[in-house]
Amino acid sequence: ELISDSDDVDVSDAFVLVSVMKDPAYDTAAMTLGWISTIAWDISFLPQIWHNYRRNTVAGLSFDFLTFNFLGFSCSLMFNAGLLWIPAIKDQFEDRHPNELLHVRLNDVIFPLYAVICTAVQIAQCIFYPRSEGQRVSIPCRIITVILIVIIIISCILVPTVDNVLWLDILYLMSYVKLFISMIKYCPQLYTNYLAKSTAGWSIGQVFLDFTGGLLSLIQMILLAANYDDFNSMLTDPTKLGLGLLSIFFNIFFLLQHYCLYRGNEDPLLKGSDDVEKHSEADGDRRSSLKSERQSETF
């Protein structure tokens, strides 16, 4: 309803956004899949934590992967939380995309928050648990991480000084950082498995759950886009779309490594510290026995 004292009302900038839902069942299914994918992704962090605890070592786990994971999910958390809860950024989105719906749900915020916490736990395990000789964050990973953080900081400084740069742009930058990290973060772990010719340090349970989360998240986005006849909306959340596709892609390679290439392989360097100590004690007992036999033969 428009109320004005003047007979002439300028409505040239006005628009009506009509959201037509084809079938409520699709919307319910999409919401259900969203929560299931969130649960699968959340649980996917627990097998690796338990795997490290059970083996009492982080040998075979790539520190580069954890570094990229922590930075990437931190960016994803800020992106989704900003679009969901900060009114100024939501207004900027509506101004830039007046004819598009923002498909960011609460589960899109819960997942990266949980991921950051679980990754921090795994990093703590890397600090306190035994590791392989030379196992550390690589120089290329450090360089890439520093460059990405510096780019984000510089971009934040530009917001109050450059008119055309909005906080929405910073969030999109963070989403692209997350997408870039998702493209490379699995590579160090794949390479670690390749060098060891074993997946002993990498939890296969995590792989299955991560694959499930990525697949269901992708199906959720397709259902929402089809139900509202708005496939362009999938591109407004590039992080979620890219994360789903990349999770499916890379986890296929992990499954191939585990069940085909290195099936049943157990690298001695990847065994838990308890196993290493047992082998060392057994070797020591054998050496003592041989020494005693030689002494007996001498006498």
252: number of Cβ within 10 Å: 12
Q: How many CA atoms lie within 13 A of 150 on its CB side?
A: 6
The tens digit of pLDDT for each residue in 103-134 reads: 788 878 988 998 999 999 999 999 999 998 88
166's CB contacts (< 8 A; 6+ apart) are 92, 159
CA 96 vs CA 75, 231, 248: distances in Å: 21, 17, 31
Query: Is 283 contained in some domain?
Result: no
Q: Are the C-beta atoms of residues 60 and 92 closer than 8 Å to each other? A: no
In a domain, 199, yes or no: yes
Beta strands in the chain (DSSP E): none
186 found inside a domain: yes
pTM over 0.95: no
pLDDT confidence of residue 277: 43
User: For residue 240, what pLDDT band results from cuts at 50, 70 and 90?
Assistant: confident
Q: Are 109 and 84 in contact (CB under 8 A)?
A: yes
95 has pLDDT over 80: yes
Read off the amino acid at residue 69: N
The pLDDT of residue 25: 87
How many other CB atoms sit within 10 Å of the CB of residue 267? 18
Q: Which candidate, 14, 82, 16, 33, places its Cα nearest to that of 226?
A: 33
- Over residues 17-32, the mean pLDDT reads 81
Q: Which domain holds residue 150?
A: 24-264
Structure-token pair, residue 211: 């694959």
Q: What is the pLDDT of residue 55?
A: 92
The predicted-structure confidence for 4-20, as pLDDT tens digits, reads as follows 556 666 666 566 666 67
Farthest-apart Cα atoms in the chain, separation: 123
Q: What is the DSSP string of 32-61?
A: HHHHHHHHHHHHTHHHHHHHHHHHT--TT-
Q: Rounded to whole angstroms, how far apart are CA atoms 167 and 49?
A: 35
d(CA 191, CA 230): 39
Q: Is residue 127 part of a domain?
A: yes
Residue 5 lies in a domain: no
> How many Cβ atoms sit within 10 Å of the Cβ of residue 35?
15
* Nearest CA-CA partner of 237 in 104, 71, 92: 104
- Whether the CB-CB separation of 107 and 35 falls below 8 Å is answered with yes
Query: CA-to-CA distance for 60 and 52, rounded, in angstroms?
Result: 10
* Residue 17 domain-assigned (yes or no): no
Taking the C-alpha atoms of residue 17 and residue 1, their distance in angstroms, rounded to an integer, is 15
Residue 58 pLDDT:
95
Which amino acid type is present at position 282? A
Mean pLDDT, all residues of the chain: 84
Q: Kindly state whether residue 288 falls inside one of the protein's structural domains.
A: no
d(CA 217, CA 214): 5
**Confidence grade of residue 22 (pLDDT, cut at 50, 70, 90):** confident
The total number of structural domains that make up the chain: 1
Q: Is residue 220 part of a domain?
A: yes
List pLDDT tens digits, range 47-69.
999 999 999 999 999 999 999 99
State how far the Cα of 268 lies from the Cα of 265, in Å rounded to an integer. Answer: 10
